[in-house]
Structure formats: structure tokens, C-alpha cells
Amino acid sequence: MPTISYKDHSFSLEANETVLDCLLREGQSVSYSCRTGVCQSCLMKAAQGTPSAEAQAGLRDTLKLQGYFMACKWKPADNVTVCGAEDLTFQATLVGKELLSETVLKVLLQSNSPFSYQSGQYLTLIRPDGLARSYSIASLPRESMIELHVRIIPNGQMSSWLLDEAQPGTPLTFRGPFGTCFYLPDRPEQPLLLVGTGTGLAPLYGIARDALTQNHKGPIWLFHGALTGKGLYLVNQLRELAARFPQFQYQPTLLHEDEQLEYPVLTGSLDTIVMSQFPQLKSMRAFLCGDPDIVNRLRKKFFLAGLSLRDIYADAFVPSSPT
Amino acid sequence: MSNLYQELGGQAAVDAAVELFYRKVLVDDRISHFFDGVDMDHQIAKQKAFLTMAFGGPHNYSGLDMRKGHAHLVERGLNDTHFDAVVENLGATLTELGVSQELINQVAAIAESTRADVLSR
């Protein structure tokens, strides 16, 4: 009789029983709704064991890759370990930090144990006192350190602490990885459109480099939007990347004119600029990160322009509520 | 009516219809405002569940689910005209996919059967 390991407990599965039914029968608190594998409310993650195709039917490819499944549809035949998305925790050390611009701090972490992630996903960083904030991962999985881009918020508890007080060697905790916004190598010729605002560039920087590292051949366009020139960062690195890889194109955009810049930018609303550059979107895959209003507006516009939601990956950065 | 789901094409039919249907409701000014401010991925999963039910497919929805799920929209003014617009868009979607009028009528009847619960009557 197979068992389910969940939150340090072990439960025996009854004959023909789903993961959801077993956990509910054992009094565990898990969310669910339709129980027919459609609404995805009962989404969980398999840490050990391979979910059935039925349990993953309709899920995004990036969720399937991470072992997510619908608990109402998986009847494991062998022992499995499952968890909710919020359950994985890691110990880490702050290794370094560097200002990338007036408003963006690069933070480098070293995890104390192997941390498996995809560029573009995010983690929740937890200070020793328990304060938590989420940041996208800009590094590649093959790199030894995890790279985060932290927007410095005046009076922001985490960003001010990271900027002013945290030093190399400071121990930290993080949970993750989370998110479905990352590159898949299944269609190497597919055009990729990456659009971000502010530190929405962090996941896009990771995704672009990940795609290029995996020999993506189709064109990759990266649009980074900011209010003024001061909001742009990694400009030189991205221009170098564009010089090295003919299939990669980088386009910074500004909402307001800025005559001090030494490189070409487009001026105007980011969503208007992107839509005017790409009259034809079908067959593309889009990654949208950053300001929620712009991310949601573009996602809707892309969808209405004919792009399938399956090919639109969005990560809206919702700010933490003041506490 | 238990064969309706298979006649329509089952899960593949739902998959084919859901994005077409969603695009229609998003551009229908009569109802598009009810879809503002909701995460699209979450929303389309709910629409897939709705279409599965309307196509006569497997579902576990109860009248209470319908009431709870739409109560906040009723507070925002959801009424018969909006329900009619949704059913109209559903019919247009199936017409576009080449479904016969007879089957469309059956789907519309199933959708219609949820009106009282959706509108909290």
C-alpha cells in the first residue's frame, strides 16, 4: 500500500484514492474546489514521485516541469512526497551586493543546500527577524550564486536593510522557487518577446541568458521600460549581449524624454511601443514582468491580438503592504 | 443529454472553445467590466470549468457554489442582461467552431439552468 509523505507526516493511501481524498480523510487542510481536474485550486507539488498525465492535464508546461499536479486527479501507485508551493525553505548566506543604479541593488546569495530553480522564477527572502519579501531570480541555475535585483524603496524595510545593514556573511532564509515565468527549450525557433518595467528586468535578464545559453535560435526581443533614464540598468551588459548574439535585440524605453542618454531609446508608453512594433504576435511566446498595471494591460492586449494564454507568461510585481 | 459532452468532442472541445469564448467576453462592452482586475490565468481556468459544465461534462458544481462564486458580481450589478450576453457569446463561440444549432441549444439550456443561482435568486 503506497504512502503519501506530507509535512513530516506519512499517510497510507487507500485503494483507488487520490492524493486530495487521502489528505482530506486524514484531516489535512488543503484547498480544492471542482474535484474534476479543471479549476486547479488543489495544485500541489511532487517532491518525490512523478505525477500522472491526468493529474497534470491542462497545466502550464512550466508547472508540469516543476512537478506540480492537481491533487484531485493523482492516484499514486508508489510512495510519494508532496507539498504545497509555500513549503520549501532554504538557509543561505549573503555573499555580496552592488548598486546597479541609483535605485537597484544587486544581491548575491549562496544557498547552504542545493537549490533547484529556473531563471525567471522568484523566491521569498526572509530576514533573521522574520520579515519577508519576494524577489525574482536573475541568475542562471548553473551559476554558483543566486542573483536578485532589489528595488530600493525609501523607508522600505527589506531594501533599506539590505542596502545599509546587511553585510557579506549575514545568514538569511528563503522559500521557493515560485512562479511559472521561465524559458522552455521545446521550441528553439519560436520568437520570444520579453517586456519588463523596473526590476521586472531581473527575471527577463535571467530568461534571455538562459535561452541563449540553451542555443535558442529564434529571435529574442527584450524591451525594458522606465520612467526616466535613471530607472534603466544593466544597459551595457544587455548591449554587449545584443552585440554577441545576432538573434537577441535589446530595446530600452522611457515614458519621459531624457536627453542625457548616450544610447538610443524609444519614448512613450511601454505597451503602446510594444504593440506598435509587433503587429503580428501569433506564434510568439511572451514574458511580461514588473508593474502590475502594465503587465496586465499587455497580457490582455496580447491575448486579444491572438496570442494564446499558454504562450503568455506574466509576473506582476505586487508591492508588499506597509506593516 | 449524457452524450452531449462526447458529441461536442469532450475536453478537446472545451480547450478549443475556452480562449475563443474568453476573447469574445473581453471585447463585449456589456460584460467586459466584470472581468477587469482578475488574474487572466485564474479566470480562464474558471471559464474552462464553466464550459465543461455547460457542455454536459464532469463537474461538481452545486447551486451553492454558483451563488457564492457570483455573489460579489451581483453586488456590482450583475443581472439578466449580463447573463444573456454571456450565453449569447457562448452560442457565438460554438457557431464559430461549427457546432450544430441543435447541440448549441442543449448547451444554452444547461447554462440557462444556472441563471437563478448565478443571480442569487
**Mean pLDDT, residues B96-105 taken together:** 94
Instruction: Label residue B2 by pLDDT band (50, 70, 90).
Output: low
Number of other residues whose CB lies within 10 A of the CB of residue A14: 11
Number of other residues whose CB lies within 10 A of the CB of residue A64: 18
Q: β-strands A122-126, A43-48: how paired?
A: unpaired
Question: Tens digits of per-residue pLDDT, B8-34?
Answer: 999 889 999 999 999 999 999 999 999
Whether chain B has a CB inside 8 Å of the CB on A38: the answer is yes
Question: Tens digits of per-residue pLDDT, A20-48?
Answer: 999 999 998 888 877 777 777 888 889 88
User: How many residues are recorded in chain B?
Assistant: 121
Q: Is A251 helix (H, G, I), strand (E, B) or coil?
A: strand
Number of other residues whose CB lies within 10 A of the CB of residue A232: 24
Instruction: Label residue B62 by pLDDT band (50, 70, 90).
Output: confident
Asked if this assembly's ipTM is beyond 0.95, the reply is no
Helix then strand count (H, E) for chain A reads 8, 17
Share of chain A above pLDDT 70, in %: 98
Q: Which of B22, B27, B60 sits opposite A35 (nearest CB)?
A: B60
| CB of A138 closer than 8 Å to CB of A234 | no
Which of A39, A42, A301 is the mutation pick for testing B, counting most B CBs within 10 A? A39
Residue B19 to residue A34, Cβ atoms within 8 A: no
Question: Tens digits of per-residue pLDDT, A76-111?
Answer: 999 999 988 666 789 999 999 999 999 999 999 999
**What are B's interface residues with A at a Cβ cutoff of 8 A?**
11, 15, 19, 22-23, 26-27, 40-41, 44-46, 48-49, 52, 58-61, 65
- The answer to whether residue B1 scores a pLDDT higher than 60 is no
Which range in A8-17, A99-108, B72-81 is most confidently predicted, on average pLDDT? A99-108
Contacts B22 to A, Cβ<8 Å: 303, 309
- The answer to whether residue A125 scores a pLDDT higher than 80 is yes
- Which residue of chain B comes nearest to A38, CA vs CA? B49
